[in-house]
């Protein structure tokens, strides 16, 4: 059975068209802020301390408030329900009117098994334990019961939208406080998520994966209820990746000029944030950074940047963003020890804004903030000279793709104008891609001209104010890095690992115009040898990165 209509969101419970709210996302953000504004946390502690510890048993009954999704804007209805399963981490309640109609004991045991004991990636833990391991503890705001309530009823559909489930911030405040919120609502005063059993199948793998998604929202409420929507939703999407049933990747790859930190509640928004946080977790999660990010009081990019610092990473968010945009195009484990690869996702082809097969060629475009344009060049044995003009500084990535040798990635710093001989394209390379990753808060405008430069010597990359290369490469145990300074300048030459962590400062001085060389002994700041692998050397002229190149240490 088809689960959703194209362009509708599987995850979101509903879209609210009420008052001044134009989307569910706007409403959800507003309600979270309302719950934060209204909630008296100290009073909540008193309420919880005054309540006896609760322990439901199979057969216990309770009547719950939930949204009436048969109308828009949604109303409120009360539904009697019975506890059908009790585990170490959760209770499963089913609406009485749906029992033996749209959900039975076999259905309950299947979802309960995934909640408590296994995911689609293994049987180490179930959804609840998995989410708490990765994202943090489930809040226990009012009911003095650490267990999660999962409530199944027929959420139904409206206007072509079919609803999987939702988390409601109303439940995290008292009933009296919920009535004071705008718009007023009702609270069950407990930690719960709401799931459908009709018309969608509650045991469908996608449905079960949504359990992980909605639970992340509940955990994030307890960690940082003011978090930007794109971060909260992206981490909820990551929960589905951890579970083993991620959302299908579509729409965003067809239009990568889509700002990462802008949330319009379109399908592409879910996909782009899922990709980013999956990439981020695979590259940087040391077992705690994702959990710490959920509870980080700073929001959006500032929060991510702060957690990188807290966990010992020196790589800026802007560099991670650029690397991510290259990973979206490459997804290749052989390049830079997996720096541009996804272990847990298989990516489709990403759209190129411009494709050139004859030269000279030219083009122009505008890229949104925190978004990307790809320009694809088919060389036919040609080498290229590039003239590029931009309206603000960027670090442009250049991908040379090959099936015969390892694909390469180079970077060039562009302030406003760049004239450069691009890396040479031997016959084994079949494609070059220019990556205009706009790691900034304003639009990027670019104009370029590409001409054939076949026969030119491209072993040394000519940069605006310098040239840079190393030999031998690969090397063991030492390599010589050569650079040329065209004007008297302050020069820094730094060695990084592929995570962007500084390994060694080779140069930190003022140089006159001229050619220079420095030897790197394959060691770190304490002169201890580093391990084999790919390292980056970064030439910084007068405080600005001029070029970043790669070297390979083999032992």
Which residue(s) pair with 42 in the sheet? Answer: none
pLDDT value, residue 19: 46
Selection from 430, 336, 333, 330 nearest residue 380 by Cα: 430
pLDDT value at position 265?
85
pLDDT at residue 25 in the model: 64
Task: Give the Cα separation of 299 and 376 in Å (integer).
Answer: 35
14 vs 225: CA distance, rounded Å:
20
Residue 2 confidence (pLDDT)? 25
Q: Please tell me the distance from the alpha carbon of residue 512 to that of residue 354, in angstroms, as a whole number.
A: 41
Maximum separation of any 2 CA atoms in the chain, in Å: 84
Q: Output the pLDDT for position 382.
A: 86
3-class DSSP state for residue 129?
A: helix
Q: Can you spell out the DSSP letters for 61-90?
A: EEEEEEEETTSSS-EEEEEEEEEEEE-SSE
Do you find a cis peptide bond into 477, omega within 30 degrees of 0? yes
pLDDT at site 17: 34
Tens digit of pLDDT at every position of the chain (555 positions): 223 332 233 333 333 333 455 655 677 778 888 998 998 989 999 998 999 888 899 999 999 999 888 777 778 999 999 999 999 999 999 999 999 999 999 999 999 999 999 999 999 999 999 999 999 999 999 999 999 999 999 998 877 778 899 999 999 999 999 999 999 999 999 999 999 999 999 999 999 999 999 999 999 999 998 899 999 999 999 999 999 999 999 999 999 999 999 999 899 999 999 999 999 999 999 899 999 999 999 999 999 999 999 999 989 999 999 999 999 999 999 998 899 999 999 999 999 999 999 999 999 999 999 999 999 999 877 889 999 999 999 999 999 998 888 899 999 888 899 888 888 888 888 999 999 999 999 999 999 999 988 754 444 444 444 578 888 887 888 999 998 888 888 999 999 887 777 889 999 999 998 889 999 999 999 999 998 887 888 888 888 877 778 888 877
How many angstroms separate the CA atoms of 542 and 546, rounded? 9
Return the bridge partners of 523, or none: 529
Q: How many CB atoms lie within 10 A of CB 327?
A: 25
Q: Cβ(78)–Cβ(64) under 8 Å?
A: yes
Q: Where are the domains of the chain?
A: 24-235, 460-555
CB atoms within 10 A of CB 24: 18
Architecture in CATH of 460-555? Sandwich (2.60)
Buried b (16+ CB within 10 A) or exposed e, 198-224: bebbbbeebbbbbbbbbbbbbbbbbbb
Q: Which residues pair with 420 in a beta bridge?
A: 386
Q: What is the DSSP string of 252-317?
A: TTT---S-TT-----HHHHHHHHHHHHHHHHHH--SSHHHHHHT-SS-HHHHHHHHHHHTT----H
In whole angstroms, what is the distance from residue 265 CA to residue 13 CA? Answer: 12
Contact between 499 and 283 (Cβ < 8 Å): yes
Spatial CA neighbour of 46 closest among 181, 141, 137: 141
Place of tokens 């079949």: 430
Q: Give the pTM.
A: 0.83
What does the alpha-carbon distance between residue 143 and residue 109 come to, in Å, rounded to a whole number? Answer: 25
């Amino acid at each position: 059975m088809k689960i959703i209509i194209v362009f509708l969101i599987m995850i979101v419970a509903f879209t609210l068209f009420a008052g001044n709210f134009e989307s569910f996302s706007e409403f959800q953000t507003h309600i979270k802020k309302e719950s934060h504004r209204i909630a008296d946390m100290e009073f909540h502690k008193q309420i919880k301390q005054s309540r006896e510890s609760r322990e439901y048993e199979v057969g216990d009954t309770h009547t719950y408030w939930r949204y009436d999704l048969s109308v828009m804007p949604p109303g409120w209805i009360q539904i009697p329900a019975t506890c059908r399963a009790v585990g170490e981490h959760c209770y499963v309640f089913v609406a009485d009117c749906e029992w033996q109609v749209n959900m039975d004991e076999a259905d309950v045991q299947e979802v309960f098994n995934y909640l408590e004991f296994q995911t689609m990636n293994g049987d180490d833990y179930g959804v609840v334990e998995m989410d708490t391991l990765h994202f943090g503890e489930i809040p226990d705001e009012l009911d003095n019961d650490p267990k999660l309530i999962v409530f199944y009823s027929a959420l139904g559909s409206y206007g072509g939208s079919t609803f999987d489930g939702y988390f409601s911030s109303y439940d995290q405040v008292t009933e009296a406080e919920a009535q004071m919120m705008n718009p007023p609502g009702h609270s069950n005063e407990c930690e719960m998520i709401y799931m459908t059993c009709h018309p969608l199948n509650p045991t469908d793998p996608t449905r079960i994966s949504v359990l992980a998604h909605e639970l992340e929202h509940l955990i994030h409420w307890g960690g940082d209820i003011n978090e930007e929507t794109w971060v909260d939703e992206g981490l909820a999407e990551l929960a589905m990746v951890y579970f083993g049933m991620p959302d299908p990747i579509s729409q965003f790859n067809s239009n990568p000029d889509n700002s990462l930190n802008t949330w319009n509640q379109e399908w592409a928004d879910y996909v782009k944030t899922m990709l980013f946080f999956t990439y981020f977790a695979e590259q940087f999660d040391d077992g705690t950074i994702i959990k710490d990010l959920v509870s980080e009081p700073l929001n959006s990019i500032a929060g991510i940047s702060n957690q990188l610092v807290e966990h010992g990473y020196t790589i800026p968010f802007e560099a991670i963003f650029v690397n991510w945009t290259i990973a979206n195009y490459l997804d290749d484990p052989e390049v830079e020890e997996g720096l541009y690869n996804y272990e847990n996702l298989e990516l489709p082809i990403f759209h190129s804004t411009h494709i050139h097969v004859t030269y000279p060629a030219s083009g122009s475009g505008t890229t949104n903030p925190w978004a990307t344009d790809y320009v694809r060049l088919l060389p036919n044995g040609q080498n290229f000279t590039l003239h590029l003009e931009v309206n603000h500084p960027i670090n442009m990535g250049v991908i040379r793709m090959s099936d015969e040798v390892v694909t390469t990635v180079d970077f060039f710093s562009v302030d406003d104008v760049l004239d450069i001989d691009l890396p040479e394209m031997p016959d084994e390379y079949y494609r070059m891609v220019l990556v205009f990753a706009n790691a900034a808060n304003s639009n990027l405008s670019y104009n370029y001209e590409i001409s054939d430069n076949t026969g030119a010597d491209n072993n040394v990359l000519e940069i605006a104010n310098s040239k840079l290369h190393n030999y031998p490469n690969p090397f063991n145990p030492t390599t010589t890095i050569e650079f040329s300074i065209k004007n008297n300048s302050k020069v820094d030459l730094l060695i990084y690992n592929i995570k962007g962590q500084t390994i060694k400062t080779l140069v930190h001085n003022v140089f006159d115009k001229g050619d220079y060389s420095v030897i790197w002994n394959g060691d770190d700041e304490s002169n201890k040898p580093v391990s084999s692998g790919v390292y980056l050397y970064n030439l910084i002229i007068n405080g600005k990165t001029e070029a970043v190149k790669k070297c390979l240490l083999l032992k």
